Amino acid sequence: MKPRYTFGGDEHLFVEVDEEMSLDAFFKSLSMTRIIAERAIEGVTEICPANASFQVKFDPDVVAPGALLEEVRSIEAEAGKADPVLQTRLIEIPVFYQDPWTHETLMRFRERHQDPQGTDLEYAARINGYSSVEAFIAAHSGSPWFVSMVGFVAGLPFMYQMVERGRQIQVPKYLRPRTDTPKLTVGYGGCFSCIYSVRGAGGYQMFGITPMPIFDPDQKTNYLEDFMVFFRPGDIVKFRPIDRVEYDRTVEAVAKNAFKPKIREVEFDLRAFNADIKGYNARLEGMINGD
Amino acid sequence: MAIKVLNPGLLTSVQDLGRPGYFHLGIPVSGAMDRYAMRAANLLVGNEESAAGLEAVFVGPQLAFAEDAMIAVTGADMPVKIDGEIQPGWTALPVKAGQVLSFDFLTAGARIYIAVAGGIDVPVALGSRSTYPIGALGGFKGRAIARDDELPVGRPSGRAISGRGVPDDLRRENPVPVELRILPGLYDHRVTKASLDRFFDEEWKVAPEADRMGYRFRGGTPLEFNEREQPFGAGSDPSNIVDSCYPYGSVQVPGGTEPIILHRDAVSGGGYFMIGTVISADMDLIGQLQPNTPARFRRVTMEQALEARHARAAMLDRLRKALQ
C-alpha cells in the first residue's frame, strides 16, 4: 500500500491510498484525513474521504500547492501508526428484496443490461455462484457492511462487504446507465452495495428497496432533524429482509414520523475483525438483535 | 416585493456563488456556472456578489415585476427587453411596477444571469440559496422555476446606479474555438503517453449532453489504456477505478471515448478514471458553451494554472473598481 499523490487542478490535492479496495486502505485513508483535520491547515477548505482515497480542497491563494503536498505527505508515517479503531454506529436497515418498484424499473431498462432475459438478482446470483436468488439474498443480508464512502449524490452510502475477499459479491454495473432508479433502491456495482438516497440516474444493479429515508432536505424526519444526511463513513450496516406487509407498515410509520432506525453504538477494531471475521460478525449480529 | 414568473424559459434556476463544504456527503458545490457573470450582475444592481439571482440557459424567462426594481442581465448575448423594448446587457436597468422583462433569441454563449437589487430571497439551505434539483435542496422549493411562481426579492441596498454598465473589456469573452486549460494528473497514468498527447492535439466538439452536472465532448480519438490487471473493487472496464472523489472540474473519460468535464451540480464521486482537471480560471467559460462549439484542451503546469488564476482575480478586481 503506497499512497500516490496528485493534484486535481489548482484547488484539489488527491491522494490514492491504494489502487485496490480493502478495509486496511480505508482505515489508512481515515487516519490521514483525521490528522489533516486536526492540524487545521490554513487554506484547507474541505476534506473528502472516499473508499481507498481522499481529496483535500484548498485555496492556493492561502496555501501553496507544493507546501500542502509536503505537509500531507509528512502525515503518512504518523497515520500508519494509528490504531485502526473506530467508535461508530451499527445500524439495521430493513430491505424488501425483489420488490415491485425496482422490478418495474429494471424491466423498463432491460436492453441496457448484461442479461436481458433475467432480473438483476438472478444475474448477480448466477455470476457469483449462488444456486438461487434466495441463497444470494441470504448472503447479501447475512453479513454486515462497512460504509466506506458517502457521496455520488446527496447522502448515498457506498458499503463494503465485511467478509473474506474470496466470498465478496462482485457484479458489473449496467452496460449503459439507467435514466431512472427508484428512491431508496438497494443497489450493487463492483464490490460495493449502495442505497440510492434520491430518485435519479444510476448504473448499479437493483436488488430491493428500503422503506427507511436516508436523506431529508426538509429535516422533518425525526432522526434527520439535526442533519439531513443519515450516513457517515465508518457506519456499519446490517440488512434485514422484510416482506411486503412489513414494508407497507414501515412506510406508514415513516409517514407518521414514528419510525426510528435500530442503532447501536459500537467500537470497531480492524485487527480483531481481521483475526476472526466470522466470530466478529456474529458478535455484531448479537448486538443488533439484543436489546 | 415579488417577481411573477409568466414563462420560465427552458431551464431557469435560482443560483448564487455556491454551496461549498458538503461535497464529502455528496452534495455538490452548485451555484452559477459562470460565476464571473453572476458577480457582475450583482455588482451592477448594488448587491453583495454572493446574492442569489437567476441563471437561464438558451432561452430567457418572462418575468413580471409587482414593484419598481433595478435589474441587470449578464453572461450570454441574449437581447434584453422591458415591455418589449430592447435594453442593453451588462447594464443596471430600472424596471417599473407592472413591467415585464423578456428576452430575444440567444446569439452567443449559453447562460444569462439576472440579478435584481435585493437578490432573490429564497431560504438559505446549507449556507446557500443555489438550487440542487436532484436533492430538492435550496433554490425556489428545491427546483427550477415554473410558470406562476412568485419569487421573493430582498431589500435593495440603494447603491445601484441606473444606466451604469460594465466596460466592454470586462465583459464575457467569446472565443471560438474555445481553449480550456487542463492540469494533467489524477489517473492519467492509465492511458498511453501517445494517446494523451493526441487528446491535447485534437479538436473536440461540445456534445448535446452538456448541462450543469457536466459537459461532454466528442470528435476526438478514443484513448488507449496501459495494460493492467484491474485492482479489486474497481470493476472490469479499463476506464474503471475504485470509486473515488471527483474533483470539481475533473475530466473523466468513461470507456476512454468521450471526455466529460464535471461542473457545479456534478456527482461527488464514482468509478471512472480522470485524466486531469480544468484549471479554476477556465471553469466559467464552460457554462457559456453551446453544443457543437469546437474546443481544444491545452495542457498546463501548476505554475501556469496559478498565473491564470491570478490573472482572473485581477480581472475581477478591475470589475469591482469599475463598479464601485
CATH assignment at residue A75: 3.30.1360.40
Same domain, A78 and A92: no
Q: What is the mean pLDDT of residues A80-99?
A: 95
Quick check: B303 contacting A, CB < 8 Å? no
Do A92 and A76 have their domain in common?
Answer: no
User: What pLDDT score was predicted for residue A86?
Assistant: 95
Mean pLDDT of chain A: 96
Q: Enumerate the β-bridge partners of residue B182.
A: B278, B299
Domain that holds residue A204: 87-288
* Residues of chain A found within 8 Å of residue B25, distances taken between Cβ atoms: 150-151, 154-155, 229
* Residue A154 in contact with partner chain B when CB distance is under 8 A: yes
Note whether A37 and A143 are same-domain residues. Answer: no
By DSSP bridging, strand A192-195 and strand A145-150 are unpaired
pLDDT (0 to 100) of residue B128: 98
Domains of chain B, residue spans = 2-170, 178-315
Confidence at A122, pLDDT banded by 50, 70, 90: very high
Q: Let me know whether A236 and A125 are in one domain.
A: yes
- Binned at pLDDT 50, 70 and 90, residue B324 comes out as confident
Q: 3-class SS at B68?
A: coil
User: Are the beta carbons of A16 and B236 separated by less than 8 Å?
Assistant: no
- One domain, residues A168 and A33: no
- Please determine, for residue B182, whether its predicted confidence score (pLDDT) is greater than 80: yes
pLDDT band at A13 (very low <50, low <70, confident <90, very high): very high
Q: Which chain B residue has the Cα nearest residue A170? A: B233
How far apart, in Å, are the Cα atoms of B275 and each of A6, A167, A275, B247?
Answer: 11, 33, 39, 11
Contact B244 A55 (CB under 8 A): yes
% of chain A with per-residue pLDDT over 70 = 100
Considering A59, A82, A105, which residue would you say is the last residue of a domain? A82
Write down the pLDDT at residue A175: 86
d(CA A210, CA A185): 7
A155 confidence band (pLDDT: 50, 70, 90): very high
Q: Say if residue A102's pLDDT is above 90.
A: yes
Query: Is residue A174 domain-shared with residue A192, that is, in the same domain?
Result: yes
Regarding whether A129 and A30 lie in a shared domain, the answer is no
Against a cut of 0.90, is the pTM above it? yes
Q: CA B316 to CA B296: how far, in whole Å?
A: 25
pLDDT band at A176 (very low <50, low <70, confident <90, very high): confident
List of residues 6+ apart from A144 with CB closer than 8 A? A90, A162, A236, A237, A238, A281, A284, A285
Domain boundary among A65, A82, A99: A82
Residue A194 has pLDDT above 80, yes or no: yes
Segment B217-221 mean pLDDT? 97
CB nearest A149 (choices: B234, B243, B278): B243
Q: Give the residue-averaged pLDDT of A121-139.
A: 97
By the CB < 8 Å criterion, does A12 face chain B? yes
Q: What percent of chain B has a predicted confidence (pLDDT) above 90?
A: 96
CB contact under 8 A, B183 and A55: no
CA pair distance B245, B190, nearest whole angstrom: 17
Cis peptide before B222 (omega within 30 of 0): no
Mean pLDDT, to the nearest integer, of A113-142? 96
Mean pLDDT of chain B: 96
What pLDDT score does A291 carry?
60
- B126, B232, B279: residue with CB nearest A10: B279
Confidence band of A77 (pLDDT split at 50, 70, 90): confident
| A158 at interface of B, judged by CB pairs closer than 8 A | yes
Put simply, whether A37 touches B (Cβ < 8 Å) is no
Domains identified in chain A, total number = 2
- The predicted-structure confidence for B220-241, as pLDDT tens digits, reads as follows 999 999 999 999 999 888 999 9
Higher pLDDT, A79 or B120: B120
Determine the distance in angstroms separating the CA of A194 from the nearest CA of chain B, rounded to an integer: 12
Check residue B175 and give its pLDDT: 75
Choose the weakest-confidence range: A169-173, B37-41, B112-116, B139-143: A169-173
Burial class (CB in 10 A: 0-12, 13-18, 19+), B98: exposed
Residue in A7, A156, A173 closest to B26 by CB: A156
B244, closest residue in chain A (CA to CA) = A50
Which CATH fold would you assign to the domain B178-315?
Cyclophilin (2.40.100)
Domain identity same for A206 and A258: yes
Percent composition of chain A: helix, strand, coil (DSSP 3-state, to 5): 35, 25, 40
